[in-house]
Amino acid sequence: MGCLLKMIISSLVSLAVVVGIVAILAFACTPNTFGLGGVDLGFGTLEELGLADKNFATLFTDLMDVFKEPKEEDIVTNGFDDETEAPKAENNLRNSAISSVVDGETVISYADLLSTEGGPILYDQEYLLRYDDHTLGYIFNQALKETQDKERENSDLGPLGQFKIVINEVSLYNDKITVDEVEQDSVTLKVVASFNIAGIKEELFKDVPGFISNIIPSNLYVVSQMTLTATNEGVLSTASKAFNINGKDSQMSEVIIKALAHAIDEGTTDETATMNSMIGGVVTGSIAKLGRVGTAAVNSSNVVTGDINLGNSGIKGADEGSETNGYLTLITSKQAA
């Protein structure tokens, strides 16, 4: 019995020594300690990314902080309700070519908004229609869901097709930008989406130790913010402002954004702009199919009667703290007689 007890105590002491050594190494050693600063992750070396002189414990903690799944209410601050927005979307689309009635119910082919085939969605009349940002969020989410569920190959998703995406929020709000040292009013488009990266995790983290990639969750929230403007032809364009993952603004968050951006475009030099351009392109492309941005005089049925003014007049942002929604007014395309 005494020998057995000594063996157990000896084993526990040995384990404690090993754990202690690992802990000391984790806090005292950095990638450069072992000459790993030049290891290329495919989107930069540890030295270039500013990680080579951080101890392993800090690197691990920072990584886990970025990937720690946040509470949705902390990220999604202006979400939409499907039941509220569905009838608004159907009302705006009911006279269009992507709307039909099946067994007495209105059916909208939202996936057509992401199709690379065909041009603008045609209506029986030229209408001026208002789309609240919540309604746009619902429409984009339905379009993504239908496209992904049917695995459509002719979609306008581009690199986004690698991910399973859910749109959680679309907001339009008033902001200020500085142009040539002069402050100007602008409208910011904010898109919050959850990205499921399970399909590309293996490729994305191929050079990262397996135990780390295994604890990285497959679902991430991304928050994209862009300045939104419209041309004199009523076509929307975006300019990159900010992009983050899980609401985190940190060095490690920037590293992960680099990884994602380079998985999409190996030659990118501005990762934030790459991510925002990808998301902004899908949003503006879908809206272009719905109509031209602008204002006009209308009759009681919202049919355009004249005074068409294309451009920024059709973009309205909500003031910060306001309970109203930002919105776009779009002039639809009429089918040929």
Where is 329: in which H helix or E strand? Answer: strand 327-331
pLDDT for residue 179 is more than 90: no
Per-residue pLDDT tens over the stretch 130-159? 999 999 999 999 999 988 876 655 666 766
Backbone Cα Rg of the chain: 25
Partnered with residue 121 across adjacent β-strands are none
pTM here is 0.83
| Span 258-265, average pLDDT | 81
Average per-residue pLDDT for the chain = 83
* Highest mean pLDDT pick, 80-84, 112-116, 146-150, 204-208: 80-84
What the block records as the tokens of 225 is 């913010």
Question: What's the rounded mean pLDDT across residues 68-92?
Answer: 91
Give me the pLDDT at residue 17, please: 47
pLDDT tens-digit readout, 288-329: 999 999 999 999 999 999 999 999 999 999 987 777 899 999
pLDDT at 141 (0 to 100) = 94
Provide mean pLDDT across the span 211-231.
81
The H-assigned helical ranges of the chain are: 2-28, 56-67, 72-75, 82-93, 133-149, 201-204, 210-215, 251-264, 271-290
Q: What is the pLDDT of residue 56?
A: 77
Which has the higher per-residue pLDDT, 171 or 51? 171
Cβ-based neighbour number of residue 129 at 10 Å: 20
Look at residue 180 in the predicted model and tell me its pLDDT. Answer: 61
Say if residue 11's pLDDT is above 80: no
Predicted local distance difference test score (pLDDT) of residue 16: 47
What is residue 223's predicted lDDT score, i.e. its pLDDT?
94
Better pLDDT: 108 or 149: 108
What is the pairing mode between strands 122-123 and 333-334?
parallel
